[in-house]
Amino acid sequence: MSEFRHELKHELGTSELCQDRRFGLGRRAAYSRAQGAERGRGRIGLRGRGGSIRYFVAHNFVCNFDSYTGSMVHNYYLYEEDGILSMLPWDYNLAFGGFMSGSDATSLVNWDIDEPVSGGTVESRPMLAWIFESEEYTELYHEIFAEFIDSVFTSGWFEELMDETVSLIAPYVELDPTKFCTYEEFELGVETLRKFCLLRAESITYQLAGEDVTVDAGALDVSDMGSMNMGGERRVDFEPGTW
């Protein structure tokens, strides 16, 4: 369980640096696949690629389309060290469908884990595409997804973490005069996030089992978890020393 939660490193082997940003990534990924075929289960075989698959399992669960898998293909860094290319994620404030707040919650909860790209194709994302080009890696992806669902959700760990986190921060949210929402909106956001994640886990369980079941999330409003306007023009005046 702890291995999954902490191993979010995306690794692809390469020995060349490409200056052209658009085509360089594709060339690197293609080179990595070729090297992987030659080396088998060596440095960039299943052992090295397991970390990258785990990253995309977590990423694809949270439906963050303000990212590499969204239409803008941005909000990530690539870091190379000793021939290993790592994806460094950031800017997840619009995860859980926040970037597509106009979409209904049911479509987001049931988003296909094998077609995780919005505004493009899996083939157009070389850092991801290699997983689905191989039956072996696709199977491993599904196995790790099942591990994730079991260790985080079936075990009850997610709900425990939610309760612990809310109890820690709620008093400060309530007193914060600079927050972008009311305390009641915070409470609604927490419960919406909790339900969204539990329904997403349920949908993915069906997907992994090969069952064509649509999980109903019609009672949820994705915008209750936040949106791009960060609370609009809310301003609260307060006196120094009162918070």
pTM: 0.76
Tokens of 69: 């898998």
What pLDDT was estimated at residue 21? 43
pLDDT digits (tens, 9 = 90+) for 154-202: 999 999 999 999 999 999 999 999 988 999 999 999 999 999 999 999 9
Give me the average pLDDT of each 10-residue run along the chain (243 residues).
40 34 46 41 46 91 92 85 78 85 85 95 92 95 97 97 97 94 95 97 98 96 80 49 48
What pLDDT was estimated at residue 76? 85
**Is residue 111 classed exposed, middle or buried when 0-12, 13-18 and 19+ CB atoms within 10 A define those classes?**
buried
Distance CA 175, CA 191 (A): 20
Write the single-letter amino acid at 8: L
What pLDDT was estimated at residue 99? 79
Distance CA 213, CA 95 (A): 23
Would you give the DSSP letter of residue 214?
P
What pLDDT was estimated at residue 149? 98
Would you give the DSSP letter of residue 104?
-
Beta bridge pairs of residue 80: 85
What pLDDT was estimated at residue 230? 53
User: Three-state DSSP class for 98?
Assistant: helix
